[in-house]
Structure 1
């Protein structure tokens, strides 16, 4: 079940949400440091993390699931968001170079269909980046945040999900080690929490981030032996001598 778009907006408007956005955006920037000339799509509620790509990417759009709702983004200028069916993304085949999935996987009721749609719209050599709540982290246990809604994931579960939907993981990262508490000392020391967490508590991050590329399989050629056998089976065969005489009598 997707979290309502108004609740998502309100979360990112609060200090805790602003800290989460800063920490995750920093990690996304390390994974995708240069998107000049690329087409970037955000699926789920990814708009808080798309702003750094504006003015750098050739095209940036936000796709928001119908079950969640849609908000206009950005606040100024032409709106770049639209409401979509996650199982039928209205984009041409191989039209996106990067797809960022945030607050989309854990609430989806059609994960397989959504992943296949992402595979379809990604260009050859394109990359998918998933930001998912960590099953072992504190954030997945806090229902007051969007990371505590829906299904959290472990690294092995995400790996299996990639394999089942024709993606190959290329990079793993973690983020969000500060406790999900609206307490100023914690929020002010979020940077320290990140440094210590990356050094000591990587399994207990708030989110797991996996970058993946699409797998493209070539058609498997048919074995020559099997093909020759089928050709022989379809080749005309002579009528036996006794049957030839019977066949002429029947015709006369």
Structure 2
């Protein structure tokens, strides 16, 4: 799904923050694609395909304002101490009409219920540090930052089991979930666009001049004929 979303977003600079185990920008066509993280990953960590170029605090992005076209936050906010501050920094460094793609764990899902019971029994399915952020709540946060929320996708409808055998048995729930209860997937992917108040996209200036002159000429001709 990340490949599908990023392949048609055009620009020059794309940034993935965190989760170096996946390459969220693999399908992006932008010439400059970077991965940053809060710490240097283990050299033996499996799955990492892109080198980490910057180590930084996620709440303080080391980039100029209005300098990044696309930012991907894969499961960053639910494990952050200051998720609001991270979003504020994302809004700051994005160019006008720049995009952010966020993946998160959905509270309203079987995985969310399993994590909630795990807090009581101390038997966690996902990392215990995670604090799930609901999809509607995240949308509200983005709207406060003048970010226009676009498409959202949900997935992972199978119960939270670790056995490959049981995952195969529950595989039918993926298609059924997409059709019958799409908003209860364990994972969501949300896309938003940075809007700047007062900015309006207009056509080329020559089109405006051509239209104005076309309206002006007949009026002048009419005036001449009436005076004559």
TM-score by length of 1: 0.64
User: Are residue 216 (structure 1) and residue 196 (structure 2) matched?
Assistant: yes
Secondary structure at 2:130 match in 1: coil
User: Are residue 145 (structure 1) and residue 94 (structure 2) matched?
Assistant: no
**Maintained 8 Å contact 2:21/2:48:** no
- The aligned counterpart of 1:176 is 156
Q: Which entry has the higher C-alpha Rg, 1 or 2?
A: 1
Cα gap change, 1:162/1:36 in structure 2, threshold over 3 Å: closer, same or farther? closer
- The aligned counterpart of 1:40 is 14
Which of 24, 34, 45 matches 1:61?
34
TM-score by length of 2: 0.70
**Maintained 8 Å contact 1:35/1:53:** no
User: Are residue 161 (structure 1) and residue 131 (structure 2) matched?
Assistant: no
Quick one: distance in 2 between partners of 1:118 and 1:135?
23
**Number of aligned residue pairs:** 187
Which of 188, 198, 220 matches 2:178?
198
Quick one: distance in 1 between partners of 2:105 and 2:9?
25
Quick one: distance in 2 between partners of 1:63 and 1:190?
35
**Maintained 8 Å contact 1:41/1:60:** yes
Any gaps of 5 or more consecutive residues in structure 1? 1-26, 220-252
Moved over 3 A (4+): 35-38, 72-76, 186-193
**Maintained 8 Å contact 1:36/1:57:** yes
Q: C-alpha displacement at 1:159, in angstroms?
A: 1.6
Q: C-alpha displacement at 1:138, in angstroms?
A: 2.2
Cα gap change, 1:51/1:127 in structure 2, threshold over 3 Å: closer, same or farther? closer
CA displacement 1:123-178 (0-9 Å, x = unmatched): 222110111110111223343324x6422122221121111222110111111112
Secondary structure at 2:81 match in 1: coil
Cα gap change, 1:58/1:187 in structure 2, threshold over 3 Å: closer, same or farther? farther
Q: C-alpha displacement at 1:205, in angstroms?
A: 0.6
CA-based RMSD: 2.7
Q: C-alpha displacement at 1:46, in angstroms?
A: 5.2
Cα gap change, 1:81/1:53 in structure 2, threshold over 3 Å: closer, same or farther? farther
Q: C-alpha displacement at 1:50, in angstroms?
A: 2.4
